[in-house]
């Protein structure tokens, strides 16, 4: 693939960073458009967009560093080299939820309505950003002899070279675009605030559990649990989201029953 698009002197335009930035920009533009129909101002969306970008990068990077702690203890300066790849999406979600919860409380915004606003942006951002992962070779799959296998040959690629491996970056990208489409189609049929966000977490976590089976990079395995850290986080997010969805639906059903 192409880890760098071009170089001018000591400066290189990293493909990974370009696609991650494009994903954030696409998500922001979509959110501005949706926000106008939801009563949010452009300034509120831009402020939240800045917080989301910052907390997503920090959260996803911290998760990746924790999963590869042995390497980064020996190479602490490499922690800052985000442009070389190494972001865990589940860590980004946790970071965003924590920071946005603080922002929403401070500015007295409706939590679930705000969460619904940004859910499609997260999905489209993932779909575009994972193309950058493919270009850089990070988040690569394990060796396979199936027809879907791809071979990396670029010497600067982060993936193992000259052997067929699962294109897990493509799997994740397709998943992101598919989830985005589902959420957009769901918006007009939304029954309650929070429904779109919870379904985003459910769909994303489910897809991650499936894709993790084909990952070949170091996943920070939890030997006692027999799963990777990402799988554990996905299971926790999935479980909490399903329970929250059931509880909210039950509350609405009981309320409607009392009103009738």
What's the count of helices (H) and strands (E) in the chain, helices before strands? 8, 6
Query: For residue 256, which of 194, 192, 170 has the smallest C-alpha distance?
Result: 192
Q: Which two tokens stand for residue 174?
A: 């397709």
Phi/psi of residue 233, nearest 5 degrees: -60, -40
User: Does the pLDDT value for residue 84 go beyond 70?
Assistant: no
User: Does the pLDDT value for residue 221 go beyond 60?
Assistant: yes
Count of CB atoms situated within 10 Å of the CB of 150: 17
Domain boundaries, the chain: 4-259
Residue 7: pLDDT band (50, 70, 90) is low
Residue 78: pLDDT band (50, 70, 90) is confident
CB burial string 96-131: b at 16+ within 10 A, e below:
bbebbeebbeeeeeeebbbbbbbbbbbbbbbbbbbb
* 215-234 average pLDDT score: 76
Question: What whole-number distance in Å separates Cα of residue 141 and Cα of residue 134?
Answer: 10
| Extended beta strands in the chain, E state | 4-8, 11-14, 150-151, 164-165, 221-222, 227-228
* 8 A C-beta contact, residue 204 and residue 92: no
Each residue's pLDDT tens digit, 167-186: 999 999 999 999 999 999 99
Each residue's pLDDT tens digit, 105-120: 999 999 999 999 999 9
Residue 91: pLDDT band (50, 70, 90) is confident
Q: What is the DSSP letter of 151?
A: E
Q: What is the pLDDT of residue 17?
A: 80
Question: What whole-number distance in Å separates Cα of residue 54 and Cα of residue 60?
Answer: 10
Each residue's pLDDT tens digit, 96-152: 888 988 999 999 999 999 999 999 999 999 999 999 989 888 889 999 999 999 999
Each residue's pLDDT tens digit, 26-61: 999 999 999 988 889 888 899 998 898 888 888 888
Question: What whole-number distance in Å separates Cα of residue 154 and Cα of residue 201?
Answer: 35
Q: What is the pLDDT of residue 186?
A: 94
């Amino acid at each position: 693939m192409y880890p760098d698009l071009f170089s001018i002197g000591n400066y290189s335009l990293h493909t990974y960073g370009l696609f991650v930035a494009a994903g954030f920009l696409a998500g922001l533009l979509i959110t501005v458009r949706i926000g106008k129909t939801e009563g949010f101002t452009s300034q509120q969306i831009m402020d939240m967009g800045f917080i989301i970008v910052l907390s997503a990068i920090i959260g996803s990077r911290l998760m990746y560093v924790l999963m590869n702690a042995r390497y980064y203890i020996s190479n602490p300066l490499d922690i800052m080299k985000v442009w070389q790849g190494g972001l865990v999406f589940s860590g980004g979600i946790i970071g965003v939820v924590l920071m946005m919860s603080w922002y929403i409380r401070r500015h007295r915004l409706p939590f679930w309505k705000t969460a619904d606003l940004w859910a499609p942006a997260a999905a489209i951002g993932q779909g575009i950003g994972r193309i950058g992962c493919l270009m850089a070779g990070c988040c690569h799959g394990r060796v396979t002899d199936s027809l879907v296998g791809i071979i990396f040959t670029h010497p600067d690629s982060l993936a193992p070279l000259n052997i067929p491996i699962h294109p897990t970056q493509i799997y994740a990208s397709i998943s992101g675009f598919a989830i985005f489409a589902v959420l957009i189609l769901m918006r007009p049929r939304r029954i309650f605030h929070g429904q779109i966000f919870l379904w985003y977490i459910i769909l994303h976590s489910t897809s991650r559990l499936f894709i993790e089976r084909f990952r070949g990079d170091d996943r920070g395995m939890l030997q006692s649990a027999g799963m990777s850290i990402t799988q554990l986080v996905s299971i926790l997010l999935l479980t909490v989201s399903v329970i929250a969805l059931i509880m909210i639906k039950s509350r609405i059903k009981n309320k409607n029953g009392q009103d009738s």
